[in-house]
Copies of this chain bind each other. A is one copy, B any other.
Amino acid sequence: MDATVNTGVVAAERLQSFVERYEKLQEEKDALSADQKELMAEAKGAGFDTKVIKTVIRDRKLGTGECAERDALIEVYKHALGMFVDTPLGQSALRRL
């Protein structure tokens, strides 16, 4: 019996498992996307401007991420401060912090 064939079969089974699990997860994601779309349609039906809603959602998301981003900026600029505090570029950077 050829061991290579067995190896190939086993590999094929694992591959199939990976692919199917991935596709399953994708299906669930698609279903959730459909739910979101439906939700927006519902909101529109209730008289809301969906653009406003989308904007609010984006705004909230940015708001949550803003802190981390801001902290990263501060960290980076702190490294540069010794060099640039006495320059227009450095001043404007400082003003933003």
**Is the beta-carbon distance between A90 and B60 smaller than 8 angstroms?**
no
**Known A49-B73, A85-B8: A29·B18 in contact at CB below 8 Å:** no
Copies of this chain, tallied across the complex = 4
State how many residues of chain A have any CB contact under 8 Å with chain B: 62
For A29, the chain B residues whose CB sits under 8 A away are: 29, 32-33
The answer to whether residues A15 and B48 also contact, given A36-B25, A59-B78, A74-B56 and a CB cut-off of 8 A, is: yes
Write the residues of chain A forming the contact surface with B, with a CB cutoff of 8 angstroms.
Answer: 4-5, 8-9, 11-16, 18-19, 21-23, 25-26, 28-29, 32-33, 35-36, 39-40, 42-43, 46-49, 51-53, 55-57, 59-61, 63-64, 70, 73-74, 76-87, 89-90, 93, 96-97
